[in-house]
Amino acid sequence: MSKHQITNILFIAGIFYIFYADFTEGIDSLVYIFYGIIYLLILFFGVVFTQFNFFVDHELAGDARFNEISLSFDDGPNEEYTEKILAKLDEYGIKASFFVIGANAEKNKDLVKKIYEQGHIIGNHSYTHRKSIESRKVKTIIAEIDRTNTVIKDIIGKKPLFFRPPFGLTTPRIAKAIEQTNMVPVAWSLRTYDTKITTDKVIKKIRKRLNGGDIVLLHDNHEGILEILDFLIPYAHETGFKFVSMDQLLDKKAYE
Dump pLDDT digits (tens) for 179-228: 999 999 999 999 999 999 999 999 999 999 999 999 999 999 999 999 99
* Average pLDDT estimate for 75-86: 96
Looking at residue 4, what is its pLDDT? 84
Looking at residue 52, what is its pLDDT? 74
- pLDDT confidence of 8, banded at 50, 70, 90? confident
The answer, yes or no, to whether residue 45 has pLDDT greater than 80, is: no
Looking at residue 242, what is its pLDDT? 97
Looking at residue 68, what is its pLDDT? 98
Residues 105, 73 contacting (CB under 8 angstroms)? no
DSSP state of 118: T
Looking at residue 135, what is its pLDDT? 65
Q: 124: closest CA among 96, 107, 144?
A: 144
Indicate the average pLDDT of the chain.
93
CA dist., res. 97 & res. 102, Å (int): 15
The answer, yes or no, to whether residue 134 has pLDDT greater than 80, is: no
* Average pLDDT estimate for 89-109: 97
pTM above 0.85?
yes
CA dist., res. 53 & res. 104, Å (int): 28
Looking at residue 87, what is its pLDDT? 97
Looking at residue 185, what is its pLDDT? 96
* Residue 75 φ/ψ region, left for φ over 0, alpha for ψ in the -120 to 50 degree band, beta for the rest: left
- pLDDT confidence of 133, banded at 50, 70, 90? low
Distances from the Cα of 87 to the Cα of 94, 115, 178, 229, angstroms: 10, 10, 33, 11
Looking at residue 132, what is its pLDDT? 66
pLDDT > 70 fraction of the chain, expressed in percent and rounded: 98
- pLDDT confidence of 11, banded at 50, 70, 90? confident
CA atoms within 13 A on the CB side of 142: 11
- pLDDT confidence of 62, banded at 50, 70, 90? very high
Q: At what angle do helices 138-156 and 109-117 cross, to 10 degrees?
A: 70
